[in-house]
Structure 1
Amino acid sequence: MLGIFFLAGSLVKSCTAIGSLQVNTTVGMSYGLINGTTPHVVQFLGIPYAEPPVGSLRWAAPVMKSPEDSIDATRFSPSCPQFADSGPDVYTVDVPEFNINNPTSEDCLTINVWSPLTPATDYTEKLPVLVWMFGGGFQNGGLDVEYQIPSQWVERTQSHIVVALNYRLNIFGFPNAAGQNQNEYNLGLLDQRLALEWVRSNIVSFGGDPSRVTLWGQSAGAGSVDYYNFAYPKNPIVTGLIMDSGTALHPTLLTNDPTHTNFTFVAGQLGCGGLNAGAELDCMRNVSFSEIESFLKNYNENGTAPSLNFSPVPDDVVTFSNYTARALAGNYTKLPAIIGTNTNEGVSLVRYNSEGVDMTNANYVTLSHFTCPAVQTTKNRYALSVPTYRYLYAGNFTNISPRPWEGAYHCSELPMFFGTSGIAHGGSTPFELVVSRSMQDMYLAFITDGPAGLETKGWKAYTPNGAVLEFGKGDTVVGNLAMESFEKVCDGIEPVAGSVPPM
């Protein structure tokens, strides 16, 4: 790691990219780092945007962090409390690079920023900003994930800034406890909003353009992007949306527990039973987060009934139960969006078998959870002439998909966007690199110039008679799949019986 320094000579002239490892923010002077792998990227890791949600702030709305004299932003902060299933799956057996590497803690509400040290653009131009929200079904995930670190992408382009944010998960992010106010049921989503307010206030200090901020998520992160789209139509902060493998119409991301039985059941198992709602919540605030997560892990792995689910619930504040109706009424931001899915999403989400999975089940998951909700979301947006750009990722590269049956499984597009495809299981092929850079450059065009940037590169907005942009199919870098062929497998958000995912 290099010490703190200031650029000298010509780079000092009105340069708006990072010219120092020292940046003053609303939460204090933050000290970042440069490493030898990406020497033209300044990294600021683990900057707190909220007070630690501990003690009385556990299960409360996030509170903006008060300033400190200095912040060591040279290492990843802990991930938020979570537990990982111990059973085998694609992500534990074949590609563990999708899993977090750091410890967990409730003191986890932090932001990372990756900014070019020397931008390729004019030094007086502020750079577009891409804000990343990870997936994990609202149960797990974090920022120290090898396949999801954007340093190499920013190193290559020198033309954009990437911000990544942590948010609370499972029972800590979505408790739905009887003792809470209704507007605090979905704390993880409130964390995301506060983080974006932090970006709005601070990104200029990192060389970013607050008028060009795009919100990007994958899986539950993509669902979060769409929830955000509906929750803040009049004050979105961001100017564009990217949803990889998820929208608000995903059938299993939201749950419903109007009588708060899940939280009360856990409280009863941890010595906080038989209390009124307020006392129950106060009692649970005194139970360690590790004890709570250990109980949930054991309960989940034992397959005990009833099952427990701590995910977003419709609260009519940041989440709703009538997304199609709200979309057709125009109750959302109407920002331009990229919406994408993968050809083989479901193979990594059904029961694992190293020799191959049940493709009937896998195909149904692909269609019902991803393809068809994306199709309906796009149609809803088109009804009000809101520009939407559709892609299908079809790549099958052995260093991301080590087994021949895996193909373009759920998450497999992420190393291509982040530029990390070659960090494990062998280097990337020349063709793979071309596909990856083509995907990166499409996103870069969108975050830089919006729809005009994509139109310039030949990516046309959705029309029923148009085409889905397809990345990495066979030996084709970027191709087109007729929209009619893509959509015929869906009847609303449900797959047509006997259909297989479009390829």
Structure 2
Amino acid sequence: MRILLLSLVNLVIATGIDSSYRFENASLSVQSTGGLVRGVIDSQLPSVRQFLGIPYAQPPIGDLRFAAPQPAGQFGTINTTSLPLSCPVSNASGTIYSKYVLEFNLQGLNYTAPTSEDCLKLSVWAPTETPQDGGLPVLIFIYGGGFGTGGIDVPYQIPAQWVQRTQDHIVVTFNYRVNIFGFPGSAALPADGFNLGLLDQRMAVEWVAANIAAFGGDPDRMILWGQSAGAASAAVYGYSYPDDPLVRGLIQDSGTEALVGSLHPEQVASNFSFVAAKLGCEGLVPAEELACMRQVPADDIENFLLAYSVAGKTPSLSFSPVVDEKLVFSNWSERALTGSIAKIPAILGTNKDEGAFTPYDPTDPAQVAVFNQTLQGVFLCPAVMSTKIRAAAGLETYRYRYSGNFSNISPTTWLGAYHSSELPLLMGTHPNFRGNSTPEEYALSTFMQDAWVAFARDDGAALEALGWPRYDNSTAGGLIMQLGHGDTAHTDTADWLEQRC
């Protein structure tokens, strides 16, 4: 079934700037709970205030390494005029991101970018004019990276151009700890101390809730939005804080709770001890081992993990969210069906060619098999299951499938709508690299941007006004929104797609 959507003219009217707002020029100096932050305006984006690198937690160094985040406290007056360094990461080689699309790497295409443990900072992109009455909707973005890499300084994922175009929303992105720094699993840690990266995420959301009004945002209209591991984080967040989510909705680009929950504490504790032994902390009881690892230079830890990964050594080392039955659970579906989940709407989606981010040669049958297995087993089928579970639990849910294939985003034809390729269209960065964007690309970008903002402003009602139906189990396969599949957008039944699962 195809339902043609509103023309772009009508769409802008429906989802553009709310004419009921009365705007006033906003200041580049904003008083936050921690102190005065001074932002910057880029001359090429004159209608966007950028506050880059605001501390939301204390630096996780010394005794705070491998510990739960602590509030930033008072920092006086700071200039927030440049993007902060990302947390220590372990970049994997041999993917499309290291060969074809470096714009998804850190620090301006630098594949070996510097990082810092003093990384628990966030950035705010807000219009230069903000409403006097009420505030603007807010999208809080969680980056992906398999819980091993990522940061807010990724060229394709900087939302300034989006805010410049719409002038009716705010975007916040934040760093959180990943890999061994975010999910250490030391046997000496308390039961609630395994998933530090997820605790970072909650503290960032709490900071936004407490401060976004000062930037012109509405704390009652915040959406938590993530991609890949960030999408999984958003899904997990809904289970972790069922009674106090602080946000009014979730958006999950290519990720669900099924991406986490397979690791258990004893597995990660073994990995932590293995790394500790290689870095001079061998033969110690857990508490001594943890204390020793807190003294090892962060660069030594980061470089060891990177070299170990590049060399393809065994055993493989995984540091990602573990089941603790506090934030990460072993019974997702049961919890949803019994009401132990935030009662807020969600958008879930996948991309047509998710698996193309793995090492891929379309002429090699073995790699084609890996591609299909990745697409279905890791992304598509878990999204199908999560959508159906949410619908069965009576939770408002909207689903999409992204198929956009544009040469300045996908430089080889077989990449197609690869994992994360929708983000440049959402962030507005699609024309920045490898040539100009097509009119079709701009049209799809505009629709997606405005749909995401509409969801933040008015939840699902705004999506349904755009012709995006709520997903339910009464129709075979349910109704989903096709994005970039032959046209800008249309609805479709998903039975043909879900048969793969």
TM-score, normalised to structure 1, is 0.91
Report Cα offsets for 1:7-49 as digits up to 9, x if no partner.
xxxxxxx967761110010111000000012110000000000
**Contact conserved, 1:253 with 1:311, CA < 8 A, in 2?**
no
User: What does 1:6-405 correspond to in 2, within 5 Å?
Assistant: 19-85=26-92, 87-101=93-107, 103-119=114-130, 123-250=132-259, 254-258=262-266, 260-349=269-358, 351-353=359-361, 358-405=367-414
Amino acid at match of 1:42: R
| Cα 1:368/1:354, change in 2 over 3 Å | closer
Report Cα offsets for 1:287-324 as digits up to 9, x if no partner.
00000111111112222221111011001111111111
Q: Name the SS of the counterpart of 1:193 in structure 2.
A: helix
Cα deviation, residue 487, structure 1: 1.7
**Contact conserved, 2:261 with 2:328, CA < 8 A, in 1?**
no
Name the CA distance, whole Å, in 2 between partners of 1:386 and 1:109.
Answer: 32
Name the CA distance, whole Å, in 1 between partners of 2:244 and 2:396.
Answer: 19
Amino acid at match of 1:365: T
Name the CA distance, whole Å, in 2 between partners of 1:340 and 1:318.
Answer: 23
What's the C-alpha RMSD, in Å, of the aligned pairs? Answer: 1.6
**Contact conserved, 1:399 with 1:421, CA < 8 A, in 2?**
yes
Amino acid at match of 1:40: S
Give the one of 473, 484, 492 matched to 1:481: 492
Amino acid at match of 2:325: D
Report Cα offsets for 1:395-435 as digits up to 9, x if no partner.
11000001011100000010111111110011100111001
Name the CA distance, whole Å, in 1 between partners of 2:300 and 2:360.
Answer: 29
Cα deviation, residue 356, structure 1: 7.4
Structure 1 window deviating more from structure 2 (264-273 vs 481-490): it is 481-490
| Cα 1:169/1:16, change in 2 over 3 Å | farther
**Contact conserved, 2:360 with 2:371, CA < 8 A, in 1?**
no
Report Cα offsets for 1:146-178 as digits up to 9, x if no partner.
110111111111000000011001000000001
**Contact conserved, 2:265 with 2:324, CA < 8 A, in 1?**
no
Name the CA distance, whole Å, in 1 between partners of 2:91 and 2:439.
Answer: 35
Amino acid at match of 1:390: R
| Cα 1:328/1:300, change in 2 over 3 Å | same
Report Cα offsets for 1:305-348 as digits up to 9, x if no partner.
21111011001111111111111212100210000100000011
Name the count of aligned residue pairs.
471
Amino acid at match of 2:36: M
The yes-or-no answer on 1:454 pairing with 2:463 is: yes
Cα deviation, residue 81, structure 1: 0.3
5+ long unaligned stretches in structure 2: 1-20, 108-112
Cα deviation, residue 463, structure 1: 1.9
Amino acid at match of 2:190: N
Name the CA distance, whole Å, in 2 between partners of 1:256 and 1:302.
Answer: 25
Name the CA distance, whole Å, in 1 between partners of 2:362 and 2:381.
Answer: 28
Name the CA distance, whole Å, in 2 between partners of 1:355 and 1:423.
Answer: 31
Structure with higher RCO (Cα < 8 A, 6+ apart): 2
**Contact conserved, 1:139 with 1:170, CA < 8 A, in 2?**
yes
Report Cα offsets for 1:76-107 as digits up to 9, x if no partner.
1110001323x332112111001011520000
Q: Name the SS of the counterpart of 1:183 in structure 2.
A: coil
Name the CA distance, whole Å, in 2 between partners of 1:94 and 1:354.
Answer: 15
Name the CA distance, whole Å, in 2 between partners of 1:213 and 1:68.
Answer: 25
**Contact conserved, 1:17 with 1:207, CA < 8 A, in 2?**
no
Name the CA distance, whole Å, in 1 between partners of 2:60 and 2:118.
Answer: 7
Cα deviation, residue 452, structure 1: 1.0
| Cα 1:330/1:18, change in 2 over 3 Å | farther
Name the CA distance, whole Å, in 2 between partners of 1:398 and 1:368.
Answer: 27
Structure 1 window deviating more from structure 2 (354-363 vs 109-118): it is 354-363
Name the CA distance, whole Å, in 1 between partners of 2:189 and 2:223.
Answer: 32
Q: Identity over aligned residues, as a percent?
A: 48
The yes-or-no answer on 1:431 pairing with 2:443 is: no
**Contact conserved, 1:468 with 1:486, CA < 8 A, in 2?**
no
Name the CA distance, whole Å, in 2 between partners of 1:257 and 1:66.
Answer: 31
Name the CA distance, whole Å, in 2 between partners of 1:278 and 1:463.
Answer: 50
Name the CA distance, whole Å, in 1 between partners of 2:144 and 2:25.
Answer: 29
TM-score, normalised to structure 2, is 0.91
**Contact conserved, 1:468 with 1:481, CA < 8 A, in 2?**
yes
Name the CA distance, whole Å, in 2 between partners of 1:354 and 1:288.
Answer: 42
Aligned to 2:484: 472
Cα deviation, residue 480, structure 1: 2.3
Cα deviation, residue 444, structure 1: 1.2
**Contact conserved, 2:468 with 2:491, CA < 8 A, in 1?**
no
| Cα 1:402/1:355, change in 2 over 3 Å | farther
| Cα 1:104/1:478, change in 2 over 3 Å | same
**Contact conserved, 1:16 with 1:126, CA < 8 A, in 2?**
no
5+ long unaligned stretches in structure 1: 1-13, 491-503
**Contact conserved, 1:17 with 1:115, CA < 8 A, in 2?**
no
**Contact conserved, 1:348 with 1:409, CA < 8 A, in 2?**
yes
